[in-house]
Chain A
Amino acid sequence: MAEATLSGSASAAKAATRQAVQNINAPLWRNAVFVAPYLFLFVTLLVVPLFWSIWLSLHKADAFGIGRFVGVDNYFRLFRDKIFIQSVGNTFYFVFLTVPALALIGLMLALALNRKTRSAAALRAVYFSSSVLSVTIVTLIWRIVFIGNFGLPATIYGWFGATAPAFLSDPKLTMIGIAIATVWWCIGLPMMLFLSALQQVPQEIYEAAALDNASRWRTLWHITLPSIRRTFVLVIIIEIVLQFQLFGQARLMTQGGPNNVSKPIVLYIYEAAFTKWDLGLGAAASEILFILIMLAAMAQYFISRRRGEEG
């Protein structure tokens, strides 16, 4: 009797389970437990600060308190400020200098080092090693390299009796100097992404190409590059987002100078918030940066997706 009851309740439970499983569209709320820790951090560290900074940007605020509500006045002040407009231009220029260079040099390094020899492994480590350095060390190294009179270009130009270009003070060269240091520092990530993509291209396709007597150039152009197209897009998007946020190198190498030609948006935000204590203005500038990064990344994404669909 007891057994019968037990088996009866067990079958009822089974039926209930079956019913639950059958409704595949019903949300399984217990799974929320798995994403809850991330969701909690995401909301508290990203979503709340994002809306908080939008709120701040509508106020006359400093680091010690939110003052009066000023509406969109901070945004008007930004667009009237020549230095802010200049810093937006500088940031685009920097992205233009670094992102293609990082993608192309990263790809070339990956192509050159995508082999199973010991020297290739060693060189991969060497090229990646700069990425582990902090921005302080990187800028210290490059400041010493670029230093007038005693630096590397000064020494080399000195052998020929010429004057070295002043990468830290010539207004035409400072952004290029910062870009060189940045490419040297950041080249590891794109190279590694390209390497991992290259290693996932099926060998059979290369074998088929070899059987068809395809040249190396043709193989690269028609097999390798189309196969890693998605990684290329990924690298471009990641680098656009990263390089738009240029700060440390400009702050430490040139302080945004001379004449603000190397001042990126993030340095402008920093100076507004911490040096001028104008937190509302800094928050407004950071919203503009947020929109710019989002637009650039989205444009890149949609363009590449459309091309992908056409292809």
Chain B
Amino acid sequence: MTHSLRKYMLAAASALALAVATPALAATELTVQRFFGACDAEFGTNTDVSKAVGECGIITSLINKFNADNPDVHVIVTTVEWPGYDQLTAQFAAGDPPDIVTVHHSVLGDYQSKGLLMPLDDLLKTVGVSPSDFTDASLSGVTKDGKIHGLPIDNWTMLFHVNLDLFKKAGLVNADGTPKLPASVDELMAQAKQFKEKTGKPYFVQNLANEVALYTRNLYTYLFQQDSDFFADPKQVKMNTAEAKKVLEMYKAIYDNDDTTKDLDYAASINAFLAGEGGVHLNGTWVIGDYTASSETSGTALNAGGYAVYPYPQLFSGKKAQYADGHSWAVSQKDRTPEEEAAIGKFLKFFNDNDYEWSRTGHLPAVKAVLESDAFKKLPHRDTIAPIATLGTPLPSTVQRQFAIQDIIGQEMNAAITGQKEIDAALADMESRINELLANI
């Protein structure tokens, strides 16, 4: 009896020892946290990246492929709701951040200034990725204090997504079939009026409800176009200006004239545009792939007359510019084994090598060679949006808490445009709230 008990105990101890020893032989685990949505039902097991469409489909398939190609590394993905920074901040505070995480170029500085991100220069060098591979916009987006703090994967901006069928009905098409876009505020108002008279629908499809980002990006774009140096001092914004007032007055007129959809949130605005509820959807580069796919499906509103996409028109006489930002993979600062660092290096190199696949989303590639490649240029609509490579302008990288600033601008602009607040009062509050925020960093 005692003998058999001892035997069982020895067996259990051996099993335990084996179980403890196994991880040394097992794949190195990396935790990756990302936004871009969840689409496991459609792409959860897909490793053929060329079959994937849209941000979510492509990133899910890319990570699946990385796991399949690298049996010695296992990537565990956590998908967070966009943008996920509140959660990330809490994770950092709790000392439990993911290894690799999606971070906007505009946000890298917040975490980098606290020493939470790992400088990647040396790691990228070991896997053969050189800073000179990146486009200038991407390199400057991820460089903080002279060091690279994220692997840039793209640059993005907002665009005019056009329903050509409605534009034709509105008589706003050139002889070559391209849409007539405005070249001044007055022209925009006139075209929007004509559009509504001819089609009975609003010119713009905008997500004005439950939204802050769209308002902010629109304001930045048209401030750049008026040469307004509103962040000359990164610690103090100037928003209560004649230039900002002009932008708000323009959007308020669009709202008051019913030249835009109202009361739609982001998801509803996409549905409305795909259902042909308006002429121009103000949305980012990331929907080009999805909208192109919709326009190629018979019976859809975008299939009826076609889909086109353009940078924001130049409405003011200043610098030709529009607001841009970018996405990157940042790596948290942690004590790691050489195997773990090597696995991270592999992951970053994989994304750098597959930047073309990611650029199929509609984003501008971060890798210069991809941007200049024929394969990229042949992707749908890349000819019309090519100018954004030079138009794209970010905020100065020294401006911190850009997402908190975005919340303030969005709230105040929404109040002014929908008539809950006078424009002057909204701009004054916007300025004082942002400056209060920046003064207390």
Residues of A bordering B, CB below 8 Å: 60, 62-64, 77, 81-83, 143, 147-150, 166, 168-171, 253-255, 257-260, 270-271, 274-278, 281
- A237 CA / B277 CA spacing, docked (Å): 48
| Interface bits B358-377 vs A (CB < 8 Å: 1, else 0) | 00000000000000000000
Interface residue from A64, A82, A148 paired with B209 (Cβ < 8 Å): A148
6 contacts between A and B (CB under 8 A): A169-B210, A171-B418, A171-B420, A255-B210, A258-B411, A274-B90
What residues on A are CB-neighbors of B90 within 8 Å?
Answer: 63, 274
Q: Is the CB of A148 within 8 A of B93?
A: no
| Interface bits B73-95 vs A (CB < 8 Å: 1, else 0) | 00000000000011001101100
Q: Is the CB of B440 within 8 A of A166?
A: no
What residues on A are CB-neighbors of B93 within 8 Å?
Answer: 63-64
Q: Is the CB of A276 within 8 A of B209?
A: no
Q: A63-B89, A148-B268 are in contact. Are A168 and B209 (CB under 8 A)?
A: yes
Q: Is the CB of B421 within 8 A of A147?
A: no
Interface core residue of A147, A148, A170 (most chain B CB under 10 Å): A148
Interface residue from A82, A168, A274 paired with B89 (Cβ < 8 Å): A274
| Interface bits B21-56 vs A (CB < 8 Å: 1, else 0) | 000000000000000000000000000000000000
What residues on A are CB-neighbors of B214 within 8 Å?
Answer: none
Q: Is the CB of B441 within 8 A of A277?
A: yes
Q: Is the CB of B407 within 8 A of A147?
A: no
State the main secondary structure of chain B at its contact with A: helix
A sample of 17 more A-B contacts (CB under 8 A), given A257-B411, A271-B407, A278-B437, is A64-B114, A77-B436, A148-B263, A149-B263, A149-B272, A149-B277, A150-B271, A168-B263, A257-B210, A258-B411, A258-B414, A259-B411, A259-B415, A259-B421, A270-B86, A274-B90, A275-B86
Q: Is the CB of A257 within 8 A of B414?
A: yes
Interface residue from B89, B264, B415 paired with A277 (Cβ < 8 Å): B89
Q: Does B381 contact A (CB under 8 A)?
A: no
What residues on B are CB-neighbors of A64 within 8 Å?
Answer: 92-93, 114, 116
Q: Distance (Å) between the CB of B148 and the closest chain A CB?
A: 22
Q: Is the CB of B209 within 8 A of A258?
A: yes
Q: Is the CB of B268 within 8 A of A169?
A: no
Q: Is the CB of B421 within 8 A of A148?
A: no
Number of interchain pairs (Cβ within 8 Å):
93
Q: Distance (Å) between the CB of A130 and the closest chain B CB?
A: 23
What residues on B are CB-neighbors of A62 within 8 Å?
Answer: 114
Residues 191-217 of B contacting A (Cβ, < 8 Å): 208-210, 212
Q: Does B403 contact A (CB under 8 A)?
A: yes
What residues on A are CB-neighbors of B264 within 8 Å?
Answer: 148-149
- A56 CA / B407 CA spacing, docked (Å): 25
Q: Is the CB of B208 within 8 A of A169?
A: yes
Q: A63-B90, A149-B272 are in contact. Are A168 and B114 (CB under 8 A)?
A: no
Q: How large is the interface on B (under 10, 10 to 19, 20 to 34, 35 or more residues)?
A: 35 or more
Q: Does B404 contact A (CB under 8 A)?
A: yes
Interface residue from B92, B401, B433, B437 paired with A63 (Cβ < 8 Å): B92
Interface core residue of B265, B271, B403 (most chain A CB under 10 Å): B265
Q: Does B290 contact A (CB under 8 A)?
A: no
Residues 390-440 of B contacting A (Cβ, < 8 Å): 401, 403-404, 407, 411-412, 414-415, 418, 420-421, 429, 433, 436-437, 440
- A271 CA / B415 CA spacing, docked (Å): 19
Q: Is the CB of B437 within 8 A of A276?
A: yes
Q: Is the CB of A254 within 8 A of B414?
A: no
Q: Does B144 contact A (CB under 8 A)?
A: no
- A81 CA / B432 CA spacing, docked (Å): 10
Question: Which 3 A-B pairs give the minimum distances between C-beta atoms?
Answer: A148-B263, A259-B415, A169-B209
Give the residue name and chain of the A residue nearest to B418 (CB). Answer: A258
Residues 84-121 of B contacting A (Cβ, < 8 Å): 85-86, 89-90, 92-93, 110, 114, 116
- A258 CA / B415 CA spacing, docked (Å): 7
Q: Is the CB of A166 within 8 A of B414?
A: no
What residues on B are CB-neighbors of A168 within 8 Å?
Answer: 209-210, 263, 265
Q: Does B168 contact A (CB under 8 A)?
A: no
Q: Distance (Å) between the CB of A197 and the closest chain B CB?
A: 40
Q: Does B238 contact A (CB under 8 A)?
A: no
- A271 CA / B110 CA spacing, docked (Å): 16
Interface core residue of B414, B418, B440, B441 (most chain A CB under 10 Å): B440
Q: Distance (Å) between the CB of A109 and the closest chain B CB?
A: 32
Q: Does B252 contact A (CB under 8 A)?
A: no
What residues on B are CB-neighbors of A259 within 8 Å?
Answer: 411-412, 414-415, 418, 420-421
Q: Does B262 contact A (CB under 8 A)?
A: yes
What residues on B are CB-neighbors of A83 within 8 Å?
Answer: 433
Q: Distance (Å) between the CB of B227 and the closest chain A CB?
A: 30
- A63 CA / B94 CA spacing, docked (Å): 9
- A94 CA / B287 CA spacing, docked (Å): 38
Q: Distance (Å) between the CB of B332 and the closest chain A CB?
A: 13
- A278 CA / B110 CA spacing, docked (Å): 13
What residues on A are CB-neighbors of B401 within 8 Å?
Answer: 275-277
Q: Distance (Å) between the CB of B93 and the closest chain A CB?
A: 4
Q: A259-B420, A274-B89 are in contact. Are A149 and B210 (CB under 8 A)?
A: no
- A168 CA / B420 CA spacing, docked (Å): 15
Q: Is the CB of B86 within 8 A of A60?
A: no
- A177 CA / B129 CA spacing, docked (Å): 52
Q: Distance (Å) between the CB of A286 and the closest chain B CB?
A: 15
- A77 CA / B415 CA spacing, docked (Å): 23
- A166 CA / B210 CA spacing, docked (Å): 12
Give the residue name and chain of the A residue nearest to B111 (CB). Answer: A64
What residues on A are CB-neighbors of B268 within 8 Å?
Answer: 147-150
What residues on A are CB-neighbors of B85 within 8 Å?
Answer: 275
Q: Is the CB of B86 within 8 A of A274?
A: yes
- A82 CA / B436 CA spacing, docked (Å): 12
Give the residue name and chain of the A residue nearest to B421 (CB). Answer: A259
Give the residue name and chain of the B residue nearest to A263 (CB). Answer: B411
Give the residue name and chain of the B residue nearest to A166 (CB). Answer: B263
- A142 CA / B437 CA spacing, docked (Å): 33
Q: Distance (Å) between the CB of B85 and the closest chain A CB?
A: 8
- A169 CA / B210 CA spacing, docked (Å): 7
- A62 CA / B89 CA spacing, docked (Å): 10
Q: A168-B265, A258-B418 are in contact. Are A275 and B407 (CB under 8 A)?
A: yes
Give the residue name and chain of the B residue nearest to A168 (CB). Answer: B209
What residues on A are CB-neighbors of B92 within 8 Å?
Answer: 63-64
Q: Distance (Å) between the CB of B415 and the closest chain A CB?
A: 4
Interface residue from B209, B212, B407, B420 paired with A166 (Cβ < 8 Å): B209
